[in-house]
Structures are given as C-alpha cells and as structure tokens.
Amino acid sequence: MEQIYNFSAGPAVLPKAVLQLARDEMLDWHGSGMSVMEMSHRGSEFMSIVEQLESDLRELLDIPQNYKVLFLQGGASSQFAMVPMNLLQSKNKADYISTGEWSKKAITEAQRFCTVNIAASSEEANFTYAPTQDKWQLDPAAAYVHYTSNETIGGVEFNWTPQMLNAHIPLVADMSSNLLSRPLNVTQFGLIYAGAQKNLGPAGLTLVIVREDLLATPITNTPTLFNYQAHAKNNSMLNTPPTYPMYITGLVMAWLKETGGLAGIEKINITKATLLYDLLDGTDFYHCPVAKSDRSRMNIPFTLKNPALDNTFLEQAKANGLIQLKGHRSVGGMRASLYNAMPIEGVAKLVAFMKEFASKHA
C-alpha cells in the first residue's frame, strides 16, 4: 500500500494506530468473541465502551458535572433544527453570527422556527474574516446566541471565545470542525455541538455538550428524537445509538490523551498550519483569501494565481499521494484540511510539492 495523505474536509483521516487497533479487534473485542458491531447497546461490554468514551471526553475538555454529554445521530445539520426547537422556550428570537456557508445553513434552518437576528456578518467581504465582538448587535430578547467556531468551507476560525454580557442568554457553538483541536473552556458555553467526522471519529455520530439547566420541553411538533431532555434522561440510550462510530471515537480519544491532550495537539496543529500558511504568504503563486487574524488551523483554502493550472495541480498532487485537495464545490480552488490525525509529515510533503510546483510553473 502506497502511503497517501488525505486532506479531506470530512469524513477525514483517522489516526493510523486507531485503525490498526480497530482492525485487530474487529472479530473479537477483548476476548468477548464479538465484534463491537454485534454487541447489544445495553450489554455490559458496550456500556463499558460508552463509559470510557464519556470519561475521556470529560477529562480532555474538562467538562463540568452540570453539563450533559449526549451521543446523537443526524450530524450538525440536525442540530441546526434541534437548537431552536429546544432552546427557544417562550421566546421567538435568536441571535446568529454569519461567517460562512455553515452558519448560513444554521440560520436558514433556524428561520423555520423563529425570527433570526443576524447580529454580525462578514458576508460583505465574502466571508473572509470573523467579526470582532464590538461589531455584534445582539438582541436582548434573543433566546440564545449562535456562532460557528470554525467554517470548514471558508477556513475562518474564531481564535477567541465570545463573552456573554447577559448571563441568562446562552452561547451556542457549532464546533464540528475544530472541537478537540485546541483547549476550550466549556463553562463559557450553554451548548456545543459537533458532527464526529472531523476530529472525533467516523460519520454517523453527533456530539452535544449541554448545560443541564437548558434542558426543557421543546416546541410543538418536535419529534421525540429531537428532544435533548429525552436523550439526557435516557443517557443517550433513548434508542439504539450509533455503536461502532462511538467505539472508534473512543479509540480516537485514547489516542488524543496519549498525544498530550488538547494542549499537546494544539502545539502540533499550530506547527502544521504555520508550515502551510508560511508557504502561502511567501509567494504570489498561491493565495489565501482569509484575514490573517482569523485563519483556521483546520481548513486552509487557497487559490493558484493562474486558475488554468488547478487541474494540473490536483492531478500531480494525487500522483504524489496528496489527495482530496480540491476546494468545496461552492468556492472552487484548493483546500487542505489539517485535522488532528494529519501527521506533520503529510503537511511537510504537501508544502514541498507546492514549492516544486510553483517553481516549475512560475
């Protein structure tokens, strides 16, 4: 097998050590004679996997006891509806910060349930920066404030956490593409959600971390499976959870702890992102459109000065084992996603390839 480096935005590269362990345990988990896929979700074997997963997540993120950790299905796109359905309560307004394709999707879905106040937006600059908080025009009647901490498509990341001046209005964050990539103070949030298929594990699992006092009866016509309170009461076993994705996520959490936890992985992530941004900024052959202060460590979009070379670039990259570098269909160009599991060697190889490509085609 050729060594390839997979820069996919998600589902994305997983730690090789995790895949090797999953392979070795596929037919017989810990002498049980069963694959994890074959285990009853209420049996002692799988319960021990869930408990370890939750315990590791709580340790890595230092999640306080008054927060529930929920293991759900449906991806961040389901959360776009679950958040308003559950958090609106008697209010009919919510604040949203608009910083790219994913916050726009969250806003469009929320508008089906309430009035959305766009408290700040970078749309006028084609979503190339994150509006600083002094620009936010929050509505005091809002049920919550929602933002996307990292825009997977646009490559805009909040390198700071918004401060909520009104303690009664919870801060909600879609952290699908940067959760667990850096230390985080969970107590600053009312609710955090993330699809698993970036830094957590395989597609099919959605993580929700929610402060207990926010659990309440949702609006009319909310399906029971969209009710946070019902999931919390049943410890995420309201129905059969996505057991195998949870198991793999558990292996990824153990790997992350061995790698030095969030402080350790942040150092590595800074090293990787710096390698690529330094190249992009040191040449006019490549260009990154995002404001320097708000650049994502996870998803790095860039363009070639001469877009006629795009396909040649992608083909030669692939021939060098550097795959999934095509930009999202909505923006074009290139994008390199450097999630936790992308080794430094992969980024070094990409940078070396890009330098050579630039020198050949300058």
For its own copies, the binding residues in 45-84 under the rule CB under 8 A are 73-78, 80-82
Cβ-based neighbour number of residue 27 at 10 Å:
10
Chain residues 238-297 in contact with its own copies, contact rule CB under 8 A: 238-245, 248
CA dihedral 242, 244, 248, 253 (to 10 degrees): 50
CB of 258 to its own copies, least distance (A): 19
Q: List the one residue from 100, 170, 195, 301 that touches its own copies (CB under 8 A).
A: 195
CB of 153 to its own copies, least distance (A): 13
Q: Could you say whether residue 43 binds its own copies (CB under 8 A)? A: yes
Reported residue count of the chain is: 362
The number of residues that bind its own copies (CB under 8 A) is: 71
d(CA 362, CA 345): 25
Segment lying near its own copies (by CB under 8 A), choices 115-123, 164-172, 233-241, 346-354:
233-241
User: What one-character-per-residue DSSP string does 168-207 give?
Assistant: TS-EEEE-TTTTTSS---GGG-SEEEEESTTTTSSTT-EE
Q: Could you say whether residue 120 binds its own copies (CB under 8 A)? A: no
- Pick between residue 63 and residue 347 the one whose CB is nearest to its own copies: 347
Chain residues 127-166 in contact with its own copies, contact rule CB under 8 A: none
d(CA 94, CA 113): 10
Segment lying near its own copies (by CB under 8 A), choices 51-59, 123-131, 222-230, 296-304:
222-230
Chain residues 196-215 in contact with its own copies, contact rule CB under 8 A: 197, 201-205
Q: List the one residue from 54, 56, 95, 109 that touches its own copies (CB under 8 A).
A: 109
Q: Distances in Å between the alpha carbon of 301 and those of 175, 285, 286?
A: 18, 14, 10
- Pick between residue 34 and residue 351 the one whose CB is nearest to its own copies: 34
Q: Which residues are catalytic?
A: 102, 174, 198
Segment lying near its own copies (by CB under 8 A), choices 16-24, 49-57, 179-187, 259-267:
16-24
Q: Could you say whether residue 316 binds its own copies (CB under 8 A)? A: no
Residue 56 CB partners (closer than 8 Å, separation 6+) = 250, 253, 254, 256, 257
Segment lying near its own copies (by CB under 8 A), choices 140-148, 165-173, 299-307, 317-325:
317-325
Cβ-based neighbour number of residue 224 at 10 Å:
11
5 is written with which tokens? 């480096």
Cβ-based neighbour number of residue 31 at 10 Å:
6
